[in-house]
């Protein structure tokens, strides 16, 4: 079994830590200042630039959001999702 970061982590009570040891603060989460284009947006731009040279077998399908399927009964939702995807 491969060791993961969680398995290597050990929680030590504060009372056992020597007072002279400096504990580094938790890292701040990374935030992006600019929005990068999604893969779908990049491909749509390439498709528009290619015009009629774009291969007919490469279709761009937007994913169906959850909000669109809220009103559908639960037992039919999975079948509907499969029907919405082109094969």
* pLDDT, tens digit (0-9, with 9 covering 90-100), for 15-48: 887 888 787 888 888 777 788 888 999 999 999 9
Q: Which of 41, 47, 45, 51 is nearest to 59 (CA)?
A: 47
Residues composing the chain: 87
23 Cβ contact partners less than 8 Å away, ≥ 6 residues apart: 17
Range of the domain at 17: 5-84
Helix residue ranges, H only, 9-71: 39-50
- pLDDT-above-70 percentage for the chain: 94
Helix residue ranges, H only, 4-61: 5-8, 39-50
Q: What pLDDT was estimated at residue 1?
A: 55
Total domain count, the chain? 1
Give the CA radius of gyration of the chain: 25
């Amino acid at each position: 079994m491969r060791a993961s970061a969680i398995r290597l982590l050990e929680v030590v009570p504060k009372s056992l830590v020597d007072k002279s040891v400096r504990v580094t603060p938790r890292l701040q989460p990374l935030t992006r200042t600019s929005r990068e284009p999604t893969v779908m947006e990049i491909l749509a731009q390439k498709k528009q630039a290619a015009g009629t040279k774009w291969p007919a077998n490469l279709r761009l399908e937007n994913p169906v959001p959850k909000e669109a399927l809220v009103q559908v009964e639960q037992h039919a939702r999975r079948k509907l999702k499969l029907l919405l995807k082109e094969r």
